[in-house]
A and B are shown apart, each in its own frame.
Chain A
Amino acid sequence: MIANGRGEVASPTIPIDQIWSALAEVPDPEMPFVNLVELGIVREVEWLGGTLQVTITPTFAACPAYEVMGSNIEGRLHKLGIGNVKVLIRHHPTWTSEWITDVARAKLKTAGLAPPPHHSGNLIQVLLDPVACPHCGSTNTSLRNGFGTTPCRMIYTCNDCKEPFEQFKPL
């Protein structure tokens, strides 16, 4: 067993970095242009005897996609040759949109989804700030609905380019 400096203990046969790379190929079921690692959903990878335990934290408590995420993670790791995979759902610490990487934020924007603003804990304040349109960049936008097609999104319209768009909710 080899400790890799990230707090995880690696199997001697498959380097831990290779496992993380494989996990970074598992797309989000609802937003396939971003992966589960860069969204901050995959939290830890740890060998427990002969079983690889992957800890995930769902974005919203009621996110209906996490079971699919778990089976997709298992499938990807089986392909890597890891037979025994256990996906653990952990709600604490609470997932926050601050865990979404800058790379993922750029991908969200390219796909037409406004990324969540950084809020460093002050959610109430950030909900009052204007949201930039991911298409034209204008901040002359209007909230159409505080809820959207998934628990983690809400709907806006851009008053300049007139396009509707969704924002990934700050949480």
Chain B
Amino acid sequence: MKRAKPLSDYLVALADDELILGHRDSEWTGHAPILEEDIAFANFALDEIGHARLWYELAADELGADRSRFPDQQVYFRPAPDWRCLQLVELPKGDWAFSMLRQYLFDSFEKFRLEGLVASSNKPMADVAARIRNEELYHQRHTQAWVPRLGQGTDESHRRMQAALDELWPYAQALSAPLPGELELIGVVPKSSELFEKWKDEVTKFLSKSSLEIPITTTRVDVDRAVHSEYFPALIADLQEVAQADPQAQW
């Protein structure tokens, strides 16, 4: 059966990934190991949430919804089962190595997807992708400096990075699965399976140069974005609690 709204489904999934990753990043504010990284993660969070808003606004245009209200409605009033983010971004922030490596893995994949979207025949989507791509250069520069530094640093930093990679790698495999609506949008959006191959090639080399070993994946992680991790309901409860306490409040 053909989906009613493949493009808005696709855009909401893109936005959900950014929003939830941004939320996890924000949990470092006031808790990062050094002040510079507190600032860096707060900036990651701000950027990702800002990028989520751009994608939600495009989805609103596609649905004929009010773009000034749609992002808040989606973020603060949508039940957990209706979100379409990857479990990769839902996982708790872990230690700082874990959050840094997750950011690296996600942003590296996003770089390839944005390159594909910049070339899209859908002009509004290509415009937003171009905007996000430039800002993401600063994320990539930061994570690409820290991943090798930690991977080749002290015994402890190496141990923490390898443990992070062992845990994240199975979840990252879900990046290869098509986003909601993607299969109906062939020719308009890049194929996740193709992006995944490029991504895997790049990160495998980079991680290896960072003295980190790609684990042999044994854990199977559900690639269906309608299936969430055990951590997600608590995250959504935390995210939505204040807004739902008084939905009519003016901020």
Measured CB to CB, the residues of A under 8 A from B are 60-64, 91-94, 96, 123-124, 127, 144-149, 151, 154-155, 169, 171
Measured CB to CB, the residues of B under 8 A from A are 36, 39-40, 42-44, 46-47, 49-51, 53-54, 124, 127-128, 130-132, 134-135, 137-138, 141-142, 145
- Chain A residues lying within 8 Å of B53, measured Cβ to Cβ, are 61-62
A148–B43 Cα distance when bound, in Å, is 8
- Chain B nearest CB from A68 CB (Å) reads 14
- Chain A residues lying within 8 Å of B138, measured Cβ to Cβ, are 146-147, 154, 169
Question: Contacts A91-B128, A147-B138 given: A61-B47 contact, CB under 8 Å?
Answer: yes
- Chain A nearest CB from B3 CB (Å) reads 27
Q: Are A123 and B46 in contact (CB under 8 A)?
A: no
Partner of B39, one of A61, A63, A96, A145: A145
Q: Are B131 and A94 in contact (CB under 8 A)?
A: yes
- Chain B residues lying within 8 Å of A64, measured Cβ to Cβ, are 46
- Chain A residues lying within 8 Å of B54, measured Cβ to Cβ, are 61, 91
- Chain A residues lying within 8 Å of B142, measured Cβ to Cβ, are 146-147
- Chain B residues lying within 8 Å of A123, measured Cβ to Cβ, are 134, 137
6 A-B pairs (CB sep. < 8 Å): A62-B47, A91-B128, A93-B127, A96-B134, A146-B145, A149-B39
Q: Are A62 and B131 in contact (CB under 8 A)?
A: no
- Chain A residues lying within 8 Å of B49, measured Cβ to Cβ, are 62
- Chain B nearest CB from A121 CB (Å) reads 10
Q: Are B36 and A94 in contact (CB under 8 A)?
A: no
Q: Are B130 and A147 in contact (CB under 8 A)?
A: no
- Chain B residues lying within 8 Å of A146, measured Cβ to Cβ, are 40, 138, 141-142, 145
- Chain A residues lying within 8 Å of B130, measured Cβ to Cβ, are 94
- Chain B nearest CB from A43 CB (Å) reads 14
Q: Are B127 and A60 in contact (CB under 8 A)?
A: no
A123–B43 Cα distance when bound, in Å, is 19
Extra 19 A-B pairs, beta carbons < 8 Å, given A92-B127, A96-B134, A145-B40: A60-B47, A61-B47, A61-B50, A62-B50, A91-B127, A91-B131, A92-B124, A92-B128, A94-B127, A94-B130, A127-B137, A146-B40, A146-B142, A147-B36, A147-B39, A147-B40, A147-B44, A151-B46, A154-B138
